Every structure is written in C-alpha cells, then in structure tokens.
Structure 1
Amino acid sequence: MNNQEIEDRVFLRELVDSISILADKKDVHAQVQLFSENAISETYINGKPFLKLKGRIEMEKAFTEFLKNVDIVYHFNGQQQVAIRGNNANGTCYCLITLIGTEDGKKIRISIGAVYQDTYIRQNNRWLITERIGNFEWQEKHEVNS
C-alpha cells in the first residue's frame, strides 16, 4: 500500500464518519454537501425498497422531514472496507443507528443495524459519495423509561 492509498483510506473513513456526525447533529444541509450534486441515496428495509432519492436538494428535504419527529440521533460506525481505483472507490461500512423520539405520547428508542454500500468519487481533490445504498437489516423498538 502506497502513501496515496493510505491517505485516501483515511479521507474516505473521515467522509463516512462526518456524514454520521452531521446526521447526529441534525445538520442536514452540511451533511448533504458530502454527497455529489446528483448523488443517489437508496434505503432498503429487510431487503425491500423503502426510499430512493436523487440529488442534494431531494436528500435534504427527505432527511429533514424524517428527523422532525426524532429528538436524538446517534450513529456508531464500525468496520469499513474500501477498494480505490484512482479517483473512484467503493466501500462497505457497518453502522448501528439509534433514534429516540416520541410516538403516541411515549418516548421510543429504535435501534437499527445498517450496512452501507457506497460509491465515491474524488472531485476537486475532495472525496464525495455519489451513491449510497443503505440496507437496514434489523430493527428493534423499545419504550424508553425517563
């Protein structure tokens, strides 16, 4: 592994982590800037299509709408593998997502096990996501005691 590949791997990890951190802060506008202008975001739940978005504007609107009923968002990124080919790369990242919000007057915690399949591009010396396929493989929902 040469120095450029090591540097690219660090940048790609930081990109994935930054997207999660901005989601946790609910800074959706900054989050979608880490995607290319016409990026695709697809979400599958238990293998079934749930949501398909194209472009930053569509993503920002949908992500903001989704988060309006969520008080706390917490992502914990785990293992990541990437394959880099010049200015393009593909990667897989495992993530544990926790959402806490109110449902029917009760505080509810939802835990989600997700695997993200990402396609990256280097534009203007900066890595961005051009496609993200999120597979939400399992989900648990529990009432939270205050």
Structure 2
Amino acid sequence: MTLEILKAKEDLRNLIDEYAYLSDEWKISEVMNLFTPDVTYKVHMNGALVADVSGRENMEQDFNFHASQVKTYFTLNGQHTTKIDGDTATGISFAQIKMIREADGKNVLTDYSVKYDDYYVKQNEKWFIKDRVAHFLIIETRSIS
C-alpha cells in the first residue's frame, strides 16, 4: 500500500468523522460542504426507500427539517472500509446514531444502526461525498427520563 493510498484512506475517514461531528452540532450548512453540489442521498429504512434527495440545496432543506424535530444527536462511527481508484473511491461505513425527540411531553430516544454505501470524489486536493445510500438496519425507540 502506497503512502498516497494511506493518506487517501485517512482523509476519507476524517471526512466521515467530520460528517458525524458537524451533524451532532446542527452545523447543517457546514455538513453540506462535505458533499459535491450534485450529491445524491438515499435513505432505506428496514429495506424500504424512504428518501431520495438530489443536490446540495435540496439536501440542506431536508436535513434542516429533520434537525428541527430533534433535541439531541449523538453519533458513534464504527468500521470504515474504502477502495481508492485515483481521484474516486467507494466506501462502506457503519454508525450508531441516537436521536432524542419530544413526544407527548416525554423524551423519546431512537437508536439507529446504520450502514452507509458511499461514492467519493477528490476535487482540488479535497475529498467529497458524491453519492450516499444510508441503510437504517435496526431502529429502536423508547421513552427515557
């Protein structure tokens, strides 16, 4: 493995982690800067396609809508495997995402186990997410105190 490939893998891991950090802090406009302007983002929950968004502007509106319904985010990234091919790459990553919303005056925790399938591009020496498919594989919801 070359130093160039190792650097690309590190940069891509940092990209994934930055997505989590910024999302957890509701820095949606900064999250959008991690994507290409023509990004596609699909979300599957329990195997069903529930969202299909194209373009950074549409995605920002969608993310802001969802963030407006959440009191607290917490993301923990797990495995991240990439295949580098010059200025493009594919990746698979896993995350645990916890969201607290209020329902009927109570805090409700939803715990998501997510697998992301990503396609990355390198532009001007920086990596971006061009296409992302999120698979919400396990979803657990419960009231908390």
TM-score calculated relative to the size of structure 2: 0.99
| Matched residue, 2:78 | 78
Give the whole-Å Cα distance in 2 for the aligned partners of 1:47 and 1:122: 30
Deviation at 1:101, TM superposition (A): 1.4
Q: Report the secondary structure of 1:70's partner residue.
A: coil
**Unaligned segments of structure 1, at least 5 residues:** none
Give yes or no for the alignment of 1:2 onto 2:6. no
CA distance in 2, matches of 1:103, 1:21: 25
1:65-123 CA distance string (max 9 Å, x none): 00101010111000010000000000000100000110122110000000000000000
Alignment correspondent of 1:56? 56
**In structure 2, what is the equivalent of residue 34 of structure 1?**
34
Q: Could you say what secondary structure the match of 2:26 adopts?
A: coil
Report sequence identity in percent: 27
Letter in 1 for 2:141: K
Q: Tell me how far 1:4 sits from its aligned partner.
A: 0.3
Code of the aligned partner of 1:88: T
Specify the alignment match of 2:101 in structure 1.
Answer: 101
SS at match of 2:11: helix
Q: Quick one: which amino acid aligns to residue 104 of structure 2?
A: D
Q: What's the RMSD between the two structures over aligned residues?
A: 0.5
Correspondence for 1:140 = 140
* Pair 1:23-2:23 in alignment: yes
Q: Give distance in 2, aligned partners of 1:104 and 1:44.
A: 27
Secondary structure in structure 2 of the residue aligned to 1:11: helix
Aligned to 1:116: 116
AA at the equivalent of 1:60: E
1:116 aligned counterpart, secondary structure: strand
Look up the match of 1:44.
44
C-alpha distance in 2, partners of 1:9/1:92?
12
The aligned amino acid for 1:63 is: F
* Cα distance in structure 2, aligned partners of 1:109 and 1:74: 11
2:14 alignment partner in structure 1: 14
Instruction: Count how many residue pairs are aligned between Structure 1 and Structure 2.
Output: 145
Distance (whole Å) between structure 1 residues aligned to residue 42 and residue 6 of structure 2: 29
User: In the alignment, what sits opposite 1:91?
Assistant: 91
Using the alignment, how far apart are the partners of 2:78 and 2:102 within structure 1?
27
Residue 46 of structure 1 and its aligned partner are, at CA, apart by 0.5
Distance 1:135 1:111 in 2: 14
Q: What is the DSSP-based 3-state SS (H/G/I as helix, E as strand, rest coil) of the residue aligned with 2:71?
A: strand
